[in-house]
Chain A
Amino acid sequence: MGWSDLKDEQEYLLARADELVWQKARELGISRRRFLRLVAAGAITVAGGRVLLRSRDAAAAPAPAELVVKPTPPELFYDFGSNKEMRWETMSNRGYVVPNELFFVRNHTRTPRIDVNTWRLRVEGTGVSRPLELTYDDILNMPAVSVVRYVECAGNGRSFFERAYGKRASGTQWKLGAIGVAEWTGVPLREVLERAGVKRTARDVMPEGLDDLRVRRPMSIAKALEPDTLLVFAMNGQILPPDHGFPVRILVPGWIGISNIKWVGRIEVSEQPLYSPWNTESYVLIGPDYKPEPPAKGPILTSQNLKSALELPWDGEIRAGRHLIRGRSWSPFGKIGKVEVSLDHGATWQLATIRGPNEARTWARWDFLWDAKPGFYAIRVRATDEKGNTQPFRVPFNEQGYLYNAVVGHPITVR
């Protein structure tokens, strides 16, 4: 299998899951069918890798009391403990990217404080012939590029499952603010892997964070070698902030947010498929509309999907009169083709005007004029991308609450 294969996340994860089944069955000396039966019966659990609760590196300082470093006042963020959701109204009348101080925070535990003087990035594993240990200065002295891309939590929109189905999905009850677009500056991961002597036989690459859980998730070598897969050290022209992965994070455009590992301290490159709890136990679709796909508990999560949001306060108020209402839509698959808006519960729709830039893996801004009369409204937005993907009106329930991208009624009162 060549490096050009498995750039699509779904194909990659399905291929690796199937290989895991074969591998584990061989190790146990049983047939693949027998192995799958045992998994289904709960006699075998398939959890990739280990979890270390404490950092082995001097670089990660003792955990402080604060979960997040930057100020996250309630007027800018919804507070979910270690997770902070951007309030969409803060993006009204702003530019294209989300300023660092407004960017959402998704922490599995808390932001580690990294001493850059002792921090090292290890690149190792069976997939490289010259294992590396890089300092921060080594990274800064490599050729760097800048790209504008979005990073979005796979659970963005999760709270709307409860509105649609009357029951909550597990996890942070985001509305639509677990997304941000930034200009990311960093070293192409390809550059680092080539310096480490990446082998033609390398198959998987797994960055690992220095946070308490050692969050890690593999990607295919093909994805790792794409030109916009970066080891990021700057965000919107500033040193990468602690909450966003200082000293370096991975940017994996188009893949779900968890792939963009923060506080990277190690990158394993392997000739064998790699697994972690973040691609076996979690980030799979579990629910009445999804069948188990052993060893995964359900269909393995794929790329992010098409969504839209309004730059308005949630359940807020505006004055009666003419307003230019703004919003943004984003798709991992292509440019935004059209955006429709409904002010009458979906009975009629009008086109919003799309404003550039408009590229895949970022977002497009749009607006529409509204002569608002007093009353209560639920503004509905439905985007379609250039590949023909359209936001649906219903998303099947899944227990972990991923990929909710149905049309949402944004409540607003006009006085």
Chain B
Amino acid sequence: MSRPVLVLVLSLAIAGSGGTLRLATAAPKPQVIEISLKEFEILPREVLAKPGAVAFVVKNVGAIEHDFVVEDTNGKAVARIAVISPGKQEDVQAVLRPGLYTILCSLPGHKEAGMKGLLKVQD
């Protein structure tokens, strides 16, 4: 089992000039989590993230099509990349609350073959 990956928060809370905090227009940069997909694995298998905006950058390093889904504990998709062609990279963002999530490929049979992992969102 791979070690959990701690993804650093890259966001900047202050936007605008002169150090003025402008909440109305502040758009914090999301944490960036890089994921690789192949037959039939998601790497890394365990991911840690801070609550808030998260950008998943997902590369298909396999030979066939895959997709990418983040599901909450109710099985509801909170982020989804519909299809990633072999050799291609796509990204998706989500604002995540603390908790456990499953990252997976939802194409038929792929999750059952091993394409799923755990995402922990905690402070």
Chain A interfacial positions (CB closer than 8 Å to B): 40-42, 47, 51, 53, 67, 80-83, 107-110, 162, 167-173, 212-213, 215, 258, 277-278, 281-283, 297, 399-401
Contacts and interface: CB of A to CB of B under 8 A. Distances in A.
Q: How large is the interface on B (under 10, 10 to 19, 20 to 34, 35 or more residues)?
A: 20 to 34
B75 A82 contact: no
Contact of B106 (A80, A162, A170, A213): A170
Contact of A168 (B72, B83, B108, B112): B83
B80 interface: yes
Contacts, number: 85
B86 interface: yes
Nearest to A297: B75
Contacts of B63: 67, 81-82, 110
Contacts of A51: 109, 112-113
Interface of B: 39-40, 63-65, 67, 69, 72-75, 77, 80, 82-83, 85-86, 106-114
Contact of A108 (B74, B80, B86, B108): B108
A170 B107 CA distance: 7
B39 A212 contact: yes
Which of B40, B74, B82 lies at the interface centre, i.e. has the most chain A CB atoms within 10 A of its CB? B82
B86 A81 contact: yes
Contacts of B40: 53
A260 to B, nearest CB: 14
A412 B73 CA distance: 46
A167 B74 CA distance: 23
Contacts of A167: 82
A392 B113 CA distance: 37
Contacts of A170: 67, 69, 80, 82-83, 106-107
Contacts of A110: 63-64
A47 B112 contact: yes
A81 B85 contact: yes
Contacts of B106: 170, 281-282, 399-400
Contacts of A80: 65, 85
B65 A81 contact: yes
Contacts of A282: 106-109
A56 B77 CA distance: 35
A277 B112 CA distance: 7
Contact of A42 (B74, B110, B114): B74
A81 to B, nearest CB: 5
22 contacts: A41-B73, A41-B74, A42-B73, A42-B75, A47-B112, A67-B63, A81-B65, A82-B64, A83-B65, A108-B109, A109-B39, A167-B82, A171-B65, A171-B67, A173-B83, A213-B110, A215-B109, A258-B108, A277-B111, A278-B108, A281-B108, A399-B106
B113 A399 contact: no
Given A110-B63, A277-B108, A399-B80, 15 more contacts: A42-B74, A47-B112, A80-B65, A81-B63, A81-B64, A81-B86, A167-B82, A172-B65, A172-B83, A173-B82, A213-B110, A277-B111, A281-B111, A281-B112, A399-B77
A213 B83 contact: no
A282 to B, nearest CB: 4
A58 B50 CA distance: 48
A53 B75 contact: no
Contacts of B65: 80-83, 171-172
B114 to A, nearest CB: 7
B82 A278 contact: no
